[in-house]
């Protein structure tokens, strides 16, 4: 079980997100009720008594790592994909939405109102 925990830790540390759907799929895969971490907690019941302290500690660390990493990815994703209307210094005209990415603004023209 410790090897599985270590494998999942490595997967979580290497996570990258390019779409909001990816972020939600990652959260479901690891943190949902039927996710990998919940399954490990279910399997924890079968761990030998002398290993429970160490395995329990690693499981708790894994869950904390997953939660923090997913929250960090969410923040990074929101920061690099946020929309705003002509904030000072972005170079976009007033009322034009632009996408912030690496301190550069790509202008996106709003559709004409009918």
Beta strand extents in the chain (DSSP E only): 83-85, 97-101, 104-108
In this predicted structure, the answer to whether residue 27 has a pLDDT above a threshold of 70 is yes
Structure tokens at 31: 């943190």
Render 25-40 in DSSP notation, one character per residue. Answer: HHHHHHHSTTSHHHHH
pLDDT value, residue 20: 82
Contact 43, 1 (CB under 8 A): yes
Q: How many CB atoms lie within 10 A of CB 87?
A: 13
Residues 6+ away with beta carbon under 8 Å from 90: 84, 98, 100, 105
pLDDT per residue as tens digits for the range 70-112: 999 988 888 776 654 445 555 555 444 455 444 444 444 444 4
Residue 103's closest CA among 85, 84, 86, 89?
89
pLDDT value, residue 91: 55
| Bigger pLDDT: 5 vs 94 | 5
pLDDT value, residue 80: 74
Burial class (CB in 10 A: 0-12, 13-18, 19+), 93: exposed
């Amino acid at each position: 079980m410790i090897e599985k925990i270590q494998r999942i830790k490595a997967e979580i540390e290497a996570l990258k997100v390019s779409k909001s759907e990816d972020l939600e799929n990652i959260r479901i895969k690891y943190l949902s009720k039927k996710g990998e971490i919940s399954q490990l907690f279910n399997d924890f019941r079968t761990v030998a008594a002398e290993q429970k302290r160490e395995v329990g500690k690693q499981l708790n660390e894994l869950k904390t790592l997953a939660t923090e990493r997913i929250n960090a990815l969410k923040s990074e994703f929101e920061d690099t994909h946020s929309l705003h209307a002509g904030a000072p210094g972005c170079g976009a005209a007033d009322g034009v939405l632009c996408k912030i990415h690496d301190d550069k603004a790509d202008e996106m023209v709003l559709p004409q109102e009918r």
